[in-house]
Amino acid sequence: MNIVSDRDGFVWKGHDQLTPRVGTLSLAPGFQPHALLQLHPPAAITALVLHAEWGLIAAGTAHGLALFDYIRHKGVLTKCTLNPNGKLCKYVAVLKICHRPVSLKNCIYITIVWCCFQRT
């Protein structure tokens, strides 16, 4: 799934995507994967959520997030967190504040105050 798509001429300068093997793949008894999800641009997945009841997987990277329906094997949604100037969007900027060693309570307080301040 392409997270950034053609967002204002964004060009990925890193490594290419992995090429999946073609043909049958025999695996030992146990966990058997039945779907492969690759995100573009390739980046470390920093958040991963599974909702088994709805058959959805959400994956987040530094570039944005993707929502994948693993029952139908289709992408549902992608959301880029980069703005046209190459900077992070305002919500990601707020999260960067919380990377400092502060308590969760202080981080939530900072986030709420920051979001309220941005609306005025």
Q: What pLDDT score was predicted for residue 56? A: 92
pLDDT digits (tens, 9 = 90+) for 38-80: 888 888 888 899 999 999 999 988 888 899 999 999 999 988 8
> How far is it, in rounded angstroms, from Cα 14 to Cα 91?
25
The mean predicted confidence, pLDDT, of the chain is 76
> How far is it, in rounded angstroms, from Cα 62 to Cα 4?
11
> How far is it, in rounded angstroms, from Cα 96 to Cα 119?
19
pTM: 0.61
Going by C-alpha positions, the residue among 62, 85, 102 that lies closest to residue 113 is 102
Report the pLDDT averaged over residues 16-35.
82
